[in-house]
Amino acid sequence: MSPMASAVNLQGVTKRFVQWQRDNTGKGMLKNLLKPEKKEITALLDVSFQVEKGEFVAYAGPNGAGKSTTMKLLSGMLLPDSGDIAVLGLCPQRQRRELMSRLGVLFGNRTELWWDHPVIQSYEWKKVVWDIPEAVYHQNLEMVTELLDLGGLLKTFSRELSLGQRMRADLGMLLLHSPELILLDEPTLGLDVVAKRQMISFLKKINRENGVTLIVTSHDMDDLEEMAQRILMISGGKIAYDGSFDGLRTMTGNLTRLTVATDNGFVPDLGNGGPVSSEKGVYEFEIDLAKTPIQELMRQLSRAQGVRDVEIKKAPIEQVIARLYQSWR
């Protein structure tokens, strides 16, 4: 893949931070005055990856893995200690202003809206600051108003918006300058189910129809699996996995949930140690298809007595990820 065709290109990027440590005892405080104790944290260690234009990538990892650090490096807010970064063919550190006119960044716990002004005022401010041509502004305004259902919110003061409404308004503001690449750090943080669904649907649409490249971080694995085609997992500052969600399942043993409903209280014996849960004749088993192939599973089920209903589905991705995180500790 040519670096010019890629939206993001990281090569050998390392980033370290220093954390101050402090004792709570009097002796410790005195010692700290003379010789402060510091701890070095490696946020990213020799990280390399590329994201093609038009991709929708999930960027996941346990707390403290380096996700937000990566986002800040890509947007030029931080300088790497070593390595090269190219975003849309530009160097974030040296060509920040040019990059910002083509990139959109949104952190979940922050807003770009003006608190004491209606949403539309913030949008007009953005039009001037980003120097967005009138025709482009109005076209994008129409699009985001429709797709994000902002019609009823445009004249509302930002401080009066609920979290979900604010996130939608922020997303709308983000898109006004037609960014080619969007970085979203925890965009579904704190949103209710409905708001989440709207956000996910919208992001998938702009990726599919407008070809916008998206990199999204989140702790909500189900959301990420629904949105993205590819997942980059970072742990301890290194890329631990780069591929599809199905590949991730295979890597962790292709966990499957099998639900069996039986008559007369029979407990099916599938030779894997028993069900993980049971309720009123419905038994749930956790099966590793890598160890127990599906054909063998079907044979065992056909021999079991009183089976009324069977449902097979993939284990929740949260469970898959949790196992991975535990194995990395």
Q: Which residues bind another protein (CB under 8 A)?
A: 17-18, 22, 33, 69, 72, 75-79, 81, 93, 96-98, 100-101, 103, 105, 107, 109-117, 121, 124-125, 128-133, 177
Residue corresponding to tokens 């390399």: 48
Minimum distance from CB of 125 to another protein (Å)? Answer: 5
- Of residues 167 and 320, the one with the C-beta less far from another protein: 167
Minimum distance from CB of 321 to another protein (Å)? Answer: 24
Minimum distance from CB of 131 to another protein (Å)? Answer: 5
- Of residues 115 and 303, the one with the C-beta less far from another protein: 115
Residue corresponding to tokens 């196992």: 323
- Of residues 129 and 193, the one with the C-beta less far from another protein: 129
Minimum distance from CB of 50 to another protein (Å)? Answer: 23
Minimum distance from CB of 87 to another protein (Å)? Answer: 12
- Of residues 49 and 125, the one with the C-beta less far from another protein: 125
- Of residues 82 and 327, the one with the C-beta less far from another protein: 82
Residue corresponding to tokens 């099966």: 287
Long-range own/partner contacts, residues 208-214 (CB < 8 A, 24 or more apart): 211/53, 211/54, 212/54, 212/179, 212/180, 212/181, 212/182, 213/7, 213/8, 213/51, 213/52, 213/53, 213/54, 213/55, 213/56, 213/180, 213/181, 213/182, 214/55, 214/56, 214/57, 214/181, 214/182, 214/184
299 is written with which tokens?
């044979």
97 is written with which tokens?
């202003």
